[in-house]
Amino acid sequence: MKDQDAQFDSLLPPLRLDRRGFIATSVAAGFSLAAGQAVAQTAISTDAGGLLAGKIDIPAPDGKIPAYRAAPQGKKNLPTLMVVSEIFGVHEYIQDVCRRLAHQGYLAIAPELFARQGDPSKYTEIPKLQAEVIGKVPDAQVQGDLDATAAWAAANGGDPDKLGILGFCWGGRQVWLYAAHNPKLKAGAAWYGQLAGEPSDLKPKSVLSLVNELKAPVLGAYGGKDAGIPQTDVDRMRIALAQGPAPAKASRIDVYPEAPHAFHADYRPSYRKAEAEQAWTRMLDWFKQNGL
């Protein structure tokens, strides 16, 4: 079953093999081609003044993962937020989100979690991107790469006891999964991530099936007019959270009635300024309330 993100949201990229073997791509310059033409009048651009910002490599057991890092310059022991991208990878929008968070005092890191499968930024068609890259990424690989990202952060200016995560679309689902994976996580924020779905070899569990395994509370931001994530799934998730263990009960899902899918993506026509700004403020408050 294809990710619901791909319902909304062919050029094969040049690839380079790193010395350890897996395909290593760079983080993108500009916006992903598959996402469509950026809407210049709404796309937010955050400068890097006062920040240490740019591309890094994160060591993994089988190679190096490209990533984008932004943090207040000269600061140490920072609360860390891992930023998980949409299916379009770590392109300009995700990099800008990292800079926004860094200006709030966070070490923000967005790993390119599709590095072994290909470079999403070079694709022009979502179905082809989904088939050749996104649909080949195992959940277990993502969780391992996020663990590697957390370890890099702890060794490079981050406070290992203050770890959070946020993600959009495809990344929103990964937030829920990671909150069920890492007991050291303080909190997560999932922006319109898939909740249901049929199990497969690469995606053995849905978010709904993992509620009782949550180890950290998650704030969900969902659109009431999201055509791909039914409100019935959101309702089921709310009920499951209320009946779950403490981290589940501490979680919350906010629904923005007039918002579509990807309403925070300020470079796309789906952007809804009022809802995006309100959800962003709530997310920052959420992280602070949870010790980040």
- In the beta sheet, which residues pair with residue 16? 24
Lowest-pLDDT choice from 30-34, 142-146, 279-283: 30-34
**Which pLDDT score is estimated for 6?**
41
Joined together, the tokens standing for residue 111 give: 């790993």
From residue 286, alpha-carbon distances to 94, 205, 221, 262 in Å are 20, 26, 12, 20
Q: What is the pLDDT of residues 172-196, one digit of tens each?
A: 999 999 999 999 999 999 999 999 9
- List the catalytic residue out of 91, 181, 261, 264: 261
Please spell the DSSP secondary structure of 142-171, one letter per residue.
HHHHHHHHHHHHHHTTEEEEEEEEEEETHH
Q: What is the pLDDT of residues 54-86, one digit of tens each?
A: 999 999 989 999 999 999 999 999 999 999 999
Q: Is 169 a catalytic residue?
A: yes
**Which pLDDT score is estimated for 4?**
41
**Which pLDDT score is estimated for 235?**
98
Helix axes 170-179, 139-155, angle to 10 degrees: 70
Is there a contact between 240 and 211 (Cβ–Cβ < 8 Å)? yes
- List the catalytic residue out of 3, 9, 145, 226: 226
Kindly state the percentage of the chain with pLDDT values over 90: 82
Domain total for the chain?
1
Q: CA–CA separation, 111 vs 63, rounded Å?
A: 13
Q: What is the pLDDT of residues 253-268, one digit of tens each?
A: 999 999 999 999 999 9
Q: What is the CATH number of the domain that holds 260?
A: 3.40.50.1820
**Which pLDDT score is estimated for 18?**
39
**Domain range spanning residue 284?**
4-289
- List the catalytic residue out of 3, 96, 145, 169: 169
Rg of the chain's alpha carbons, rounded to an integer? 17
Q: Is 285 a catalytic residue?
A: no
**Which pLDDT score is estimated for 7?**
42
Q: What is the pLDDT of residues 216-248, one digit of tens each?
A: 999 999 999 999 999 999 999 999 999 999 999
Largest CA-CA distance found in the chain, in angstroms, rounded: 49
From residue 291, alpha-carbon distances to 31, 62, 75, 150, 169 in Å are 33, 33, 18, 17, 25
Q: Is 261 a catalytic residue?
A: yes
Contacts of 162 (CB under 8 A, 6+ apart): 78, 79, 80, 186, 291, 292
